[in-house]
Amino acid sequence: MGGHSTFGDVLVNYVCSVAKLRVTGLYDGIKVSNHVLMQALNHSKVASPPRTDKHQKGDFVEALIAGAWGSLFSTDDMIDIISSSFEGKDLSTRESFIDAQIKAFSVLLDRIHDSGLDTEQRRL
């Protein structure tokens, strides 16, 4: 899972940065935190891996998103999903932007779950 989570880290940050740019018109090189990814996982339909800490859950989410890239969603698809979740949300404060990220990534994780990819990756 290491290679997938490394690529997933870059992909998650890129997708979030471009989505925020689309919605606000302002570029902000974003580093999505493990806290955000863990909370998104907790709010999604995807089963959390047992006995894992925040960092491991973040890596799991990044690997799952990386696995969905290309086979299920294009980069633009992911940006569209995140952007749609950001629409109409207050992204001006740190707290409100964190809440928006959690919601947006939980929506993306639900879409991955609904495709069955999360179950398929667990078998590998």
Query: What's the rounded Cα separation, in Å, for the pair 76 and 40?
Result: 20
Quick check: 124 pLDDT over 50? no
Domains of the chain with bracketed CATH: 2-123 (1.10.1520.20)
Q: Does the pTM of the predicted model rise above 0.75? A: yes
Per-residue pLDDT tens for 85-108? 999 999 999 999 999 999 999 999
Q: What are 5-16's pLDDT values in tens digits? A: 789 999 999 999
Query: 50: how many CB neighbours lie within 10 A of its CB?
Result: 5
The amino acid at residue 65 is I
Nearest CA to 1 among 72, 67, 68, 71? 67
